């Protein structure tokens, strides 16, 4: 149980949101449990043998690549993560790069990897990578973006001055939680692209699967009418099942 | 549904055994089975499989699970129906998963099983809420299975879910009274076990404390300009001043003083 809680803390909230998968599925897809004591026997404690340390990279936890990177035999060095408090960076944010070759340039966040305090900025901080090199084929060179640390690598851009700024979370008078630039005091809205998941770009654009999904109209329809009945009584009444027998007194101990 | 199906089959078998024109009766009984289906489509055993057009799909995209708030606005009948829709879906998914494993194929979108199970759990929660509300209003009790806090054989606290019996406790000679009211709690063996168990718990706690202290030292070495308030918020038990003074937290450079 202890190990389980420990694991669940590791995958970031935004990662789960982006995947659009149930949390339980993400857990069971990346977890490596080698042994679990059988349930329901008093002589066995609820113990399990599982991998404790996973290396989170740009490969998302539910993918096959993640599993391959965390094979049973591989053990990698511990990654130290700077505690950063509340997360500030979302997909679609405009950020300025503070380190590396593209220092001073501004770009759009294309990926957020919360497990490592990383963001990937579109088309910036890149390196060249040779793909598919063979004896007979020289390979194709592609540009790939390297992740940047949110603590030292990037800063959000103030929409007023268009310059890098520190940001903090505050509440508006309506009680809404917003990001506010400390330089100009302007609200930096969370971009629409932050809603994007693996399945859809934004919530409204989700295409219902007519075979499997309940349509929104049916799901939102209110059919509940309060009655002084238990669930079972109501179902029996609607199905015309009559039960007049009184149950014998029983004892709970 | 399955139960009904079995029942009719069994009855049909009995009738056919007894009567002379057995085959005819058996066939009529089989034909009657179709009346039991409440769903519009009835493919008999093929209900355990997905639609044939989905068999070669690699990605079957579906929406999310039902949430509690969405189920709370539904009537009992709707919940009852939805439960069976989900149950059929879950059976179908398990069958398809098994079949895919058998044929050494990739089962598309296995997260569907989790979505269905989450929905079913939510339905159970909502039904339980409604029943608890009814019973608390009518009888003043929740109507849930009573649970007692007891000290078990090992001297550890345990939740004991009570069982239902038709005779009272004092009459029931077969109920092992000693399970709960035994004289072992104060025995030497239980006391020794309890002492060692507490020692184990203490050592787990101490190890965690030491591990956190060590981790904080490493963090201080790696990120000297770190926000200490956030660090303290994450590791509230660690003494940061003490951690900063240690050799491990210093890093590889000459001190300025």
* pLDDT single digits (tens) A46-57: 899 999 899 999
Nearest one of A51, A70, A48 to A61, comparing CA atoms: A70
ipTM (interface predicted TM): 0.87
Which is higher by pLDDT, B3 or A109? A109
Contact (Cβ atoms closer than 8 angstroms) between residue A32 and residue A51:
yes
Query: Which domains are assigned to chain A?
Result: 2-69 (no CATH), 94-204 (2.30.30.30)
Distance (Å) of CA B66 to CA A57, A140, B69:
32, 46, 8
Indicate if B218 and B158 belong to the same structural domain: no
Helix axes B22-36, B2-18, angle to 10 degrees: 170
Burial of residue A89 (CB within 10 Å: 0-12, 13-18, 19+) is buried
**pLDDT of res. B254:** 61
B64 contact A CB<8A: yes
Distance (Å) of CA B43 to CA B36, B46, B167:
13, 5, 48
H or E stretch covering A128: strand A126-131
B146 contact A CB<8A: yes
What are A190's two structure tokens?
């969370």
pLDDT digits (tens, 9 = 90+) for A158-167: 999 999 999 9
Distance (Å) of CA A150 to CA A117, A120, B10, B254:
6, 10, 68, 29
In a domain, B257, yes or no: no
Indicate if B228 and B195 belong to the same structural domain: yes
- For residue B154, list chain A residues with Cβ-Cβ distance below 8 A: none
Indicate if B110 and B128 belong to the same structural domain: yes
Contact (Cβ atoms closer than 8 angstroms) between residue A125 and residue A144:
no
Q: Do B61 and A209 touch (CB under 8 A)?
A: yes
In a domain, B133, yes or no: yes
Q: Rg of the Cα trace of chain A?
A: 26
**pLDDT of res. A171:** 96
Q: Which domain holds residue B171?
A: 147-179
Indicate if B134 and B152 belong to the same structural domain: no
In a domain, B220, yes or no: yes
In a domain, B250, yes or no: no
What are B66's two structure tokens?
């039902």
List CB contacts of A15: < 8 A, sequence separation 6 or more: A26, A60, A61, A112, A113, A114, A115
Q: What percent of chain A has pLDDT over 90?
A: 81
Count of CB atoms within 10 A of residue B239's CB? 12
pLDDT digits (tens, 9 = 90+) for B173-218: 877 665 555 556 678 888 899 999 999 999 999 999 999 999 999 9
Residue of B nearest to A222 (CA): B73
In a domain, B255, yes or no: no
**Helix, strand, coil % in chain A, rounded to nearest 5:** 20, 25, 55
Provide the shortest C-alpha distance from residue B20 to chain A (in Å): 35
In a domain, B73, yes or no: yes
Indicate if B89 and B133 belong to the same structural domain: yes
Indicate if B133 and B153 belong to the same structural domain: no
Q: Do A223 and B78 touch (CB under 8 A)?
A: yes
Residue of A nearest to B152 (CA): A42
Indicate if B95 and B120 belong to the same structural domain: yes
B238 has a pLDDT exceeding 80 = yes
Q: Do B146 and A252 touch (CB under 8 A)?
A: yes
| Cα three-residue angle A171-A172-A173, rounded to 5 degrees | 120
**pLDDT of res. A238:** 94
Indicate if B63 and B132 belong to the same structural domain: yes
Tally the domains of chain B. Answer: 4
In a domain, B251, yes or no: no
Q: Who among A151, A208, A235 is closest to B63 (CB)?
A: A208
- For residue B134, list chain A residues with Cβ-Cβ distance below 8 A: 228-230
B255 has a pLDDT exceeding 80 = no
Nearest one of B130, B70, B145, B126 to A229, comparing CA atoms: B130
Indicate if B152 and B211 belong to the same structural domain: no
Provide the shortest C-alpha distance from residue A231 to chain B (in Å): 6
Indicate if B58 and B21 belong to the same structural domain: no
In a domain, B164, yes or no: yes
Please name the residue ranges forming H helices in B103-163.
111-138
Contact (Cβ atoms closer than 8 angstroms) between residue A144 and residue A127:
yes
Q: What percent of chain B has pLDDT over 90?
A: 56
Q: Do A219 and B70 touch (CB under 8 A)?
A: yes
Indicate if B48 and B106 belong to the same structural domain: yes
Residue A154's φ and ψ, nearest 5 degrees, are -135, 160
Distance (Å) of CA B139 to CA A191, B128, B136, B144, B145:
52, 16, 6, 12, 14
Indicate if B132 and B201 belong to the same structural domain: no
pLDDT bucket at A210, cuts 50 / 70 / 90: confident
**pLDDT of res. A95:** 96
Provide the shortest C-alpha distance from residue B215 to chain A (in Å): 8
- In Å, how far from its chain's centre is CA A52? 20
- For residue B233, list chain A residues with Cβ-Cβ distance below 8 A: 83, 85
Nearest one of B83, B78, B95, B79 to B43, comparing CA atoms: B95
Interface probe, candidates A19, A224, A237, A239, chain B, greatest B C-beta count within 10 A:
A224
């Amino acid at each position: 149980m202890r190990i389980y809680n420990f694991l669940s803390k590791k995958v970031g909230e935004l990662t789960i949101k982006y995947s659009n998968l149930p949390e339980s599925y993400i857990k069971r897809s990346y977890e490596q449990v080698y042994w679990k004591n059988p349930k329901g026997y008093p002589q066995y404690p609820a113990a399990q043998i599982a991998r404790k340390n996973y290396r989170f990279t740009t490969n998302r936890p539910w993918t096959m690549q993640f599993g391959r990177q965390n094979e049973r035999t591989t053990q990698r060095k511990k990654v130290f993560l700077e505690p950063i408090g509340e997360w500030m960076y979302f997909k679609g944010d405009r950020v300025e790069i503070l380190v590396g070759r593209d220092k001073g340039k501004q770009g759009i966040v294309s990926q957020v990897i919360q497990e490592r305090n990383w963001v990937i900025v579109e088309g910036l901080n890149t390196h060249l990578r040779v793909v598919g090199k063979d004896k007979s084929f020289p390979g194709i060179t592609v540009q790939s973006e390297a992740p940047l640390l949110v603590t030292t690598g990037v800063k959000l851009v103030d929409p007023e001055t268009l310059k890098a700024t520190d940001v903090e979370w505050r509440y508006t008078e309506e009680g809404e939680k917003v990001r506010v630039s400390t330089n100009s005091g302007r609200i930096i809205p969370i971009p629409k692209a932050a809603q994007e998941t693996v399945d859809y770009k934004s919530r409204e654009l989700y295409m219902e699967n007519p075979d499997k999904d309940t349509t929104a109209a049916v799901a939102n329809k209110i059919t509940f009418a309060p009655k002084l009945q238990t669930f079972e009584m109501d179902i029996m009444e609607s199905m015309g099942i009559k039960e007049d027998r009184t149950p014998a007194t029983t004892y709970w101990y | 549904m399955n139960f009904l199906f079995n029942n009719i089959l069994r009855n049909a078998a009995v009738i056919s055994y007894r009567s002379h024109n057995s085959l005819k009766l058996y066939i009529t009984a089989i034909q009657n089975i179709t009346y039991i289906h409440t769903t519009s489509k009835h493919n008999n055993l093929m209900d355990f499989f997905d639609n044939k057009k989905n068999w070669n799909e690699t990605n079957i995209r579906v929406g999310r699970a039902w949430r509690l708030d969405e189920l709370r606005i539904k009537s009992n009948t709707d919940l009852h129906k939805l439960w069976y829709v989900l149950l059929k879906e879950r059976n179908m998914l398990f069958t398809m998963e098994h079949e895919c494993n058998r044929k050494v194929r990739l089962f598309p979108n296995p997260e569907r099983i989790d979505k269905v199970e989450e929905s079913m759990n939510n339905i159970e929660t909502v039904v339980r809420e409604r029943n608890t509300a009814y019973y608390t209003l009518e009888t003043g009790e929740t109507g849930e299975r009573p649970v007692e806090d007891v000290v078990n054989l090992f001297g550890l606290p345990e939740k004991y879910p009570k069982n239902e019996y038709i005779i009272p406790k004092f009459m029931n000679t077969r109920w092992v009274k000693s399970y709960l009211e035994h004289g072992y709690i104060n025995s030497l063996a239980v006391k020794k076990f309890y002492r060692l168990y507490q020692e184990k718990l203490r050592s787990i706690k101490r190890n965690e404390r030491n591990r956190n202290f060590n981790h904080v030292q490493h963090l201080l070495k790696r990120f000297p300009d770190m926000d200490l308030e956030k660090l303290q918020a994450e590791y509230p038990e660690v003494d940061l001043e003490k951690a900063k003074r240690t050799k491990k937290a210093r890093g590889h450079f000459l001190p300025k003083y």
